[in-house]
Structure 1
Amino acid sequence: MQNQNKKSALLVMDLQNGIVSRFAENADVLHPFQKAIEAARQNHIPVIFIRVGFSEGYPEVSPQNKAFLAISKNGGMTISDSATQIHESIQPKPNEPVITKYRFSAFAGSNLEVILRSQQINTLVLCGISTSGVVLSTLREAGDKDFAMTVLSDACLDTDTEVHRVLIEKVFPRQADVQTVDTWISTLN
């Protein structure tokens, strides 16, 4: 078996203040993310943080985009806003990229693919908030770009538990290995 550590990256997606705050009532929800990040670092797997944010004036938001139009009308979520900063419980190290995207997929409008190809990364380990947003969109696009993938089932959150369950149990296994954080960590040793 080839050494996946040299070719894998952990994508930590949308764990930013404005999104994590939706789950703030339960501080334990971030534990699987923290555990995955620490394991990746210990095993020399690059950790890449992804966030969604917009420029002042929202030039990236189309009037036809229902998901982001409300943000542009209500304000906030600009790249300098506190809501778009990575949550303090999982702060990136100085050598870990923080990539800004402009849509649901981590690839949309970002330099993610350039970084992955430059580092010869061909396997992505996905975790993030939300399962039906960034994780689903990134998985689909990464699959079309021929990346191998693992989804960390307990390091994905969604406000709709049934949608989360269907994606994790029925949709994602068609394109990715779906594992818990602990199971993934056991494959690293």
Structure 2
Amino acid sequence: MLNAKRSAFVIMDLQNGIVSRFANNPEVIQPFRKALEAARKHGIPVIFVRVGFNEGYPEVSPRNKSFSVVAQHGGMTIHDEATQIHESVKPLPGEPVVTKFRISAFAGSNLEVILRAKQVENLILCGISTSGVVLSTVREAADKDYAITVLKDACLDADPEVHRVLTEKVFPRQADVKTVEDWIESLA
């Protein structure tokens, strides 16, 4: 049985600029909402993670293939609407919103400091995208010796085949992979 006091529900990159890529199907947010409600109901601390940059993009190297494009075109600063947590999963007072400057939720953020302060050992992860923040965070969390659960239907990727391969073949090597429904049942 999961120890809620030693766990954290980490919901990653559900911010306006990323969720909007899936706006043609608002139903895709439902598993995230359901998992978030279950975490809160069972007293599991919730941590939101977003990606954003300071004005002038001091964190972005011109050698960074992904983020140098953002710096050239503008947007995605910590104050932009695109980097704010999506209204459908709005944080409650006291739920931290961690800003990261790379793909992994740990990279350049205070996530690990928060997890240590709360004495967290178990991470429940969900986010957009499976091949981005979820993959990078699973890998780093495993190297940091966290027990990890990935909620596969509360992860999205633009490429369904990449999502399938990661959740069925790659993640199970380092994490328990469950549906939101199975995870909720395990909490009872």
TM range (shorter): over 0.9
Name the SS for the 1:66 alignment partner. coil
The alignment's TM-score, normalised by the length of structure 1, stands at: 0.98
| Cross-structure match for 2:161 | 162
Deviation at 1:42, TM superposition (A): 0.3
| Cross-structure match for 1:41 | 40
Q: How many residues align?
A: 188
1:66 and 2:71 correspond: no
Deviation at 1:115, TM superposition (A): 0.4
AA aligned to 2:167 is I
| Cross-structure match for 1:13 | 12
- Could you report, residue by residue, the CA deviation over 1:9-64 in whole angstroms, capped at 9, with x for unpaired residues? 11000000000000000010000000000000000000100000000000000010
Residues in 1 aligned to 2:116 and 2:87: alpha-carbon distance in whole angstroms: 29
AA aligned to 1:136 is L
Deviation at 1:79, TM superposition (A): 0.1
List gaps (5 residues or longer) in structure 1.
none
Among all aligned residue pairs of Structure 1 and Structure 2, give the percentage whose two residues are the same amino acid. 70
| Cross-structure match for 1:150 | 149
| Cross-structure match for 1:187 | 186
Name the SS for the 2:155 alignment partner. strand
Deviation at 1:4, TM superposition (A): 1.5
AA aligned to 2:16 is N
Name the SS for the 1:99 alignment partner. strand
- Could you report, residue by residue, the CA deviation over 1:76-120 in whole angstroms, capped at 9, with x for unpaired residues? 000000000000011000110000000000000000000001101
Residues in 2 aligned to 1:133 and 1:140: alpha-carbon distance in whole angstroms: 11
Residues in 2 aligned to 1:101 and 1:89: alpha-carbon distance in whole angstroms: 21
| Cross-structure match for 2:29 | 30
Residues in 1 aligned to 2:148 and 2:74: alpha-carbon distance in whole angstroms: 35
Residues in 2 aligned to 1:6 and 1:48: alpha-carbon distance in whole angstroms: 14
- Structure-to-structure mapping, 1:83-94, within 5 angstroms: 83-94=82-93
- Cα RMSD, aligned residues only: 0.6
| Cross-structure match for 1:173 | 172
Deviation at 1:5, TM superposition (A): 1.0
Residues in 2 aligned to 1:92 and 1:152: alpha-carbon distance in whole angstroms: 19
Moved beyond 3 Å, runs of 4+: none
AA aligned to 2:122 is T
| Cross-structure match for 2:105 | 106
Residues in 2 aligned to 1:160 and 1:74: alpha-carbon distance in whole angstroms: 24
Residues in 2 aligned to 1:188 and 1:162: alpha-carbon distance in whole angstroms: 29
AA aligned to 1:130 is S
List gaps (5 residues or longer) in structure 2.
none
| Cross-structure match for 2:78 | 79
AA aligned to 2:129 is S
Residues in 2 aligned to 1:97 and 1:167: alpha-carbon distance in whole angstroms: 28
